[in-house]
């Protein structure tokens, strides 16, 4: 019993964290900085629990919950990303003062939902965990202080999210009908026999749509620009980094159920991949708002990640996992600059970046590194990620798909360079005072720059870890 509880350690840590934050949210008089310190310490504890849980292995809760290297690796990624997001949440200017404890509480429950999600191997557990994380985000988006746009963004996010989850539930019901069981282990045995029939492929595809929504893949991408712009900068950072990891983890896990042979599914995924890349990159070019532009770039990057997943072999899956880690690092770096620059929690136009290299050379350098990485310029981590994904697709003979991906990467270079041009070359109309950034932020900047360069040149360790994790996906009952 004790050993089984130990397997549940990271989730227990986050449950306790949620409880503490809930108690802190009860008093009428809200203490300002104390909640932040609590949240920061507890999320650091969460990282420690995830590290301690890394070597665990086994099945708990009536075989509905599988703990293995794959799930534990994603829990570690989630908890580290959560810690980093919490670390830039002070001063929390974008959120109304009385909602600050709730803000941290819902971040915690959302991360907890995603941790449950990456371990769930039973369809109802999976669906409930997904809804726990989605519901927390539905409440986080409209918490922004100020004008009306947060409520509008929240309503759009909610309705597109619920639609995606209804479609997913309908797909789950077909999977249940095809396999007569809700356990992924049983489905894994039966689905490879059924998958060549359109009905089973459609069931699986509909089930995947819940995660397409989280990853902002076409046709569930409509929310991304509005929510990125309408939500508080810190919430946008969270949505753009943490929630992507869980979505990729589940897309890979569910796609691996086919046993690697499904023509229907792979054709449909190719179409989604191409449309996402093209649409995201082309619409991003005309954007004036920085967060909106990053939202369209997210849609494009979801396409690159899908390219790794649709190869349906271990190489492609581990490339997709690596790309997700790379994407989280570079996107976090870009959004951290946004959060630090928008000191009043306002939205940033790209033209607001003018003169950034004088106001804060370090932030400008981080932004440049992050955008070069997003565009895929060597020797950054973004280049290595794209290379691995393209190589995996090439190996499966998807030559045209890789060509389209390359063309898209070139298009994306244009709008990333426009931002860098605004930060380094454009002269501001009125000279703004230099930005003062504290020591912790400086250290975080140096760390992100070094990690982006290091992983770009030496990706082997992370890649080996990803390959070992992906090997755990196929298991017998």
Partner 1 sequence: MNSLTVYLFVALLLFCIGMFGLLQRRSLIGMIISIELMLNAAGINFMAFNRFLGPDPAVGQIMVLFIMGIAAAEAAIALSLTLALFRKLRSINIEHARDLRG
Q: In angstroms, what CA-CA distances link 50 with 46, 75, 130?
A: 6, 6, 20
Binds partner 1 (CB under 8 A): choice among 27, 148, 344, 436: 148
288 binds partner 1 (CB under 8 A): yes
Helix, strand, coil percentages, rounded to 5, for the chain? 75, 5, 20
Minimum CB separation of residue 178 from partner 1 in Å reads 9
The end-to-end CA distance of the chain, in Å, is 22
CA 299 from chain center: how many Å?
A: 12
> Judged by CB, which is closer to partner 1: 257, or 449?
257
x-or-dash string of contact with partner 1, 178-197, rule CB under 8 A: --xxx---------------
Binds partner 1 (CB under 8 A): choice among 15, 22, 30, 152: 152
> Judged by CB, which is closer to partner 1: 156, or 358?
156
289 binds partner 1 (CB under 8 A): yes
> Judged by CB, which is closer to partner 1: 136, or 318?
136
What does the block give as tokens for 129? 């965990």
Binds partner 1 (CB under 8 A): choice among 156, 190, 358, 471: 156
d(Cα 160, Cα 222) in Å, to the nearest integer?
Answer: 8
* SS3 state at 58: strand
Cβ-Cβ contacts under 8 Å for 136 (sequence gap 6 or more): 106, 107, 109, 110, 113
> Judged by CB, which is closer to partner 1: 225, or 355?
225
Is the backbone peptide bond immediately before 379 cis, with ω within 30 degrees of 0? yes
177 binds partner 1 (CB under 8 A): yes
Nearest-CA neighbor of 58 among 6, 13, 110?
6
Written as one string, the DSSP assignment of 32-69 is SHHHHHHHHHHHHHHHHHHHHHTT--EEETTTTEEESH
DSSP E strand stretches across 318-386: none
154 binds partner 1 (CB under 8 A): yes
DSSP E strand stretches across 49-155: 58-60, 65-67
Residue burial 38-69, b: 16+ Cβ < 10 Å; e: rest: bbbebbebbbebbbebeebeebbeeebbbbbb
What does the block give as tokens for 222? 């409509």
65 binds partner 1 (CB under 8 A): no
Nearest-CA neighbor of 104 among 276, 249, 232?
232
**Partners of residue 67 on adjacent β-strands:** 58
Is the backbone peptide bond immediately before 112 cis, with ω within 30 degrees of 0? no
Binds partner 1 (CB under 8 A): choice among 8, 83, 103, 174: 174
x-or-dash string of contact with partner 1, 424-453, rule CB under 8 A: ------------------------------
> Judged by CB, which is closer to partner 1: 115, or 123?
123
Binding-site size, partner 1 (CB under 8 A): 41
> Judged by CB, which is closer to partner 1: 138, or 304?
138
Binds partner 1 (CB under 8 A): choice among 226, 238, 392, 419: 226
> Judged by CB, which is closer to partner 1: 291, or 386?
291
Q: Select from 71-79, 221-229, 311-319, 445-453 the region that touches partner 1 (CB under 8 A).
A: 221-229
Farthest CA pair distance, the chain = 67
Minimum CB separation of residue 286 from partner 1 in Å reads 8
159 binds partner 1 (CB under 8 A): yes
CA 454 from chain center: how many Å?
A: 21
On whether the CB atoms of residues 276 and 299 are closer than 8 A, the answer is yes
Binds partner 1 (CB under 8 A): choice among 39, 50, 73, 172: 172
Q: In this structure, what are the phi and psi dihedrals at residue 97, rounded to the nearest 5 degrees?
A: -55, -45
Minimum CB separation of residue 254 from partner 1 in Å reads 17
x-or-dash string of contact with partner 1, 241-280, rule CB under 8 A: ----------------------------------------
Minimum CB separation of residue 48 from partner 1 in Å reads 32
d(Cα 239, Cα 234) in Å, to the nearest integer?
Answer: 9
Number of Cβ within a 10 Å radius of residue 430: 6
68 binds partner 1 (CB under 8 A): no
287 binds partner 1 (CB under 8 A): yes
Minimum CB separation of residue 202 from partner 1 in Å reads 11
Residues of this chain, 113-142, that bind partner 1 according to CB under 8 A: 124, 127-128, 131, 135, 138-139, 142
d(Cα 443, Cα 454) in Å, to the nearest integer?
Answer: 16
> Judged by CB, which is closer to partner 1: 52, or 149?
149
**Partners of residue 66 on adjacent β-strands:** 59
147 binds partner 1 (CB under 8 A): yes
Residues of this chain, 290-329, that bind partner 1 according to CB under 8 A: 292
Binding site for partner 1 (CB under 8 A): 124, 127-128, 131, 135, 138-139, 142, 147-149, 151-156, 158-159, 162-163, 166-167, 169-170, 172-174, 176-177, 180-182, 225-226, 229-230, 287-289, 292
């Amino acid at each position: 019993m004790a050993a089984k509880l130990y397997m549940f350690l990271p989730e227990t840590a986050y449950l306790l964290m949620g409880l503490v934050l809930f108690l802190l949210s009860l008093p009428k008089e809200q203490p300002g900085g104390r909640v932040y310190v609590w949240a920061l310490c507890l999320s650091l504890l969460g990282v420690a629990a995830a590290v301690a849980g890394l070597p665990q292995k086994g099945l708990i809760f009536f075989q509905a919950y599988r703990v293995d290297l794959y799930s534990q690796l994603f829990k570690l990624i989630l908890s580290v990303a959560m810690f980093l997001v919490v670390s830039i949440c002070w001063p929390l200017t974008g959120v109304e003062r009385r909602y600050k404890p709730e803000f941290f509480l819902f971040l915690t429950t959302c991360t907890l939902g995603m941790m449950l999600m990456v371990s769930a191997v039973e369809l109802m557990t999976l669906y409930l965990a997904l809804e726990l994380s989605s519901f927390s985000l539905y409440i986080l988006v409209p918490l922004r202080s100020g004008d009306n746009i947060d409520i509008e963004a929240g309503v759009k996010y909610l309705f597109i999210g619920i639609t995606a989850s209804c479609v997913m539930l309908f797909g789950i019901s077909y999977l249940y009908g095809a396999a007569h069981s809700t356990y992924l282990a049983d489905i894994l045995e039966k689905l490879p026999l059924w998958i060549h029939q359109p009905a089973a492929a459609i069931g699986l595809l509909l089930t995947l749509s819940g995660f397409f929504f989280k990853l902002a893949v076409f046709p569930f991408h409509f929310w991304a620009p509005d929510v990125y712009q309408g939500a508080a900068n810190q919430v946008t950072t969270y949505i753009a980094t943490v929630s992507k990891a869980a979505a990729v983890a589940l897309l890979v896990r569910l796609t691996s159920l086919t046993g690697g042979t499904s023509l229907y599914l792979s054709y449909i995924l190719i179409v989604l991949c191409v449309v996402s890349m093209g649409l995201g990159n082309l619409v991003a070019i005309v954007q004036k708002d920085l967060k909106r532009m990053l939202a369209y770039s997210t849609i494009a990057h979801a396409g690159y990640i899908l390219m790794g997943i649709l190869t349906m072999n271990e190489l492609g899956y581990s490339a997709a996992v690596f790309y997700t880690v790379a994407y989280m690092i570079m996107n976090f770096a870009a959004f951290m600059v946004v959060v630090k620059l928008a000191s009043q929690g306002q939205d940033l136009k790209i033209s607001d970046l003018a003169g950034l290299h004088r106001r804060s050379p370090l932030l400008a350098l981080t932004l440049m590194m992050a955008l070069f990485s997003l565009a895929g310029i060597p020797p950054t981590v973004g280049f290595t990620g794209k290379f691995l994904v393209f190589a995996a697709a090439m190996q499966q003979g998807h030559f045209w798909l890789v060509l389209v991906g390359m063309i898209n990467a070139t298009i994306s270079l244009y709008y990333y360079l426009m931002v860098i041009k605004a930060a380094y070359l454009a002269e501001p109309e009125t000279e703004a005072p230099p930005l003062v950034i504290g020591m912790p932020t400086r250290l975080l900047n140096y760390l992100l720059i070094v990690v982006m360069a290091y992983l770009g040149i030496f990706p082997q360790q992370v890649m080996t870890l990803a390959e070992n994790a992906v090997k755990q996906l196929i298991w017998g009952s």
